[in-house]
């Protein structure tokens, strides 16, 4: 993994985050095995990556003729065993403990002994996920932000048994993507970023529920008053309200603090299938774009 050609990596789960990581890795020279159990998810991710590469080429991030070269580095598959030859796998499936531990155990049995198991979790204990493997020293967090090809920093939370070597390897991989790794030294629920972001969404939802102000005016004050680039309701819709609910519920369960009780409106929207931009409706409506 020192020098030479970019190392082959795997990405497990190609939803919005996983697809973005696939694009990022491929456009920085890495051969990528992109795996998902859903053929529909793979097809959607293929469109996402092609469109993303085209946008980067249009912004002169690389010559237009290179977009096809980058895309050709990706092997799309439903077969988990196709990951066997990669140096590291970045897991990006649903933000729930049980499914993540299940795939970590499966990957542990497939990967070479020295391969890293990395997770894009934004809140779940790295130590807990590592306990499903026989290589807890080689398990580490690599929490990308939405959208991964654009956001500069990547949160790197380490588990209790994560080795210093693994942290350095994870940092080197992120750096090879052209991103800035930021290490989180303690394995706390929500790490750093979501301990800031989730309270903002919680407070905004409670203010809305209490009739203090409209969602539009709350977002407007946060953007034009406080100076944030995005309002809390816009942010929730952007990252996915199902993800926001999973993260908030996990932090609430782990810390046992009433403050992190998920707001009722967030649960109701998720139950209604209004998950944000990805479903066309969340706190706001998102009409389909026409060609």
The catalytic position among 122, 123, 125, 252 is 122
Q: Which of 248, 244, 250, 242 is nearest to 272 (CA)?
A: 242
Q: 194 catalytic, yes or no?
A: yes
Q: 122 catalytic, yes or no?
A: yes
The catalytic position among 91, 95, 155, 234 is 155
Across the beta sheet with 74-77, the strand order is 74-77, 32-35, 9-12, 88-91, 116-119, 139-141
- What DSSP letter does each residue of the chain carry, written as one string? --SSSPPPEEEE--SHHHHHHHHHHHHTT--EEEE-S-HHHHHHHHHHHHHHHHHHHHTTSS-TTHHHHHHHTEEEES-GGGGGG-SEEEE---S-HHHHHHHHHHHHHHS-TT-EEEE--SSS-HHHHHTTSS-GGGEEE-B--SSTTT--EEEEEB-TT--HHHHHHHHHHHHHTT-EEEEE-S--TTTTHHHHHHHHHHHHHHHHHTTSS-HHHHHHIIIIII--SS-HHHHHHHH-HHHHHHHHHHHHHHH--GGGPPPHHHHHHHHTT--BGGGTBSSSB-PPPP-
Instruction: Count other C-beta atoms under 10 Å from residue 209's C-beta.
Output: 12
d(CA 126, CA 124): 6
Q: 75 catalytic, yes or no?
A: no
What the block records as the tokens of 179 is: 């991103």
Provide the greatest CA pair distance for the chain: 59
Q: 168 catalytic, yes or no?
A: no
The catalytic position among 30, 91, 125, 143 is 143
Q: Which residues are catalytic?
A: 122, 143, 155, 194
């Amino acid at each position: 993994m020192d020098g030479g050609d970019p190392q082959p990596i795997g990405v497990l789960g190609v939803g919005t985050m996983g697809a973005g990581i696939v694009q990022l890795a491929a456009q920085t020279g890495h051969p990528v095995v992109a795996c998902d159990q859903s053929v529909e998810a793979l097809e959607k991710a293929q469109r996402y990556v092609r469109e993303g590469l085209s946008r980067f080429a249009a912004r002169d991030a690389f010559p237009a003729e290179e977009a096809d070269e980058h895309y050709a580095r990706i092997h799309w598959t439903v077969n988990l065993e196709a990951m066997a030859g990669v140096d590291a796998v970045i897991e990006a499936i649903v933000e729930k403990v049980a499914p993540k531990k299940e795939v970590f155990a499966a990957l542990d049995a497939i990967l070479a002994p020295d391969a890293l198991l990395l997770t894009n979790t934004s809140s779940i204990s790295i130590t807990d996920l590592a306990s499903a493997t026989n290589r807890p020293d080689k398990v580490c967090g690599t929490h990308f932000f939405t959208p991964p090809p654009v956001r500069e920093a990547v949160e790197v939370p380490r588990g209790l048994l994560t080795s210093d070597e693994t942290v350095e390897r994870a940092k080197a991989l992120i750096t090879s993507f052209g991103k800035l790794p930021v290490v989180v030294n303690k394995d706390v629920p929500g790490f750093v970023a979501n301990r800031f972001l989730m309270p903002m969404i919680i407070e905004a939802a409670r203010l809305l529920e209490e009739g203090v102000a409209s969602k539009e005016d709350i977002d407007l004050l946060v953007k034009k008053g406080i100076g944030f680039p995005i309002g809390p309701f816009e942010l929730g819709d952007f990252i996915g309200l199902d993800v926001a609910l999973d993260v908030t519920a996990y932090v609430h369960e782990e810390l046992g603090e009433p403050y992190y009780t998920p707001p009722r409106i967030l649960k109701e929207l998720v139950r209604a299938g209004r998950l944000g931009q990805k479903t066309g409706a969340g706190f706001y409506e998102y009409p389909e774009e026409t060609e």
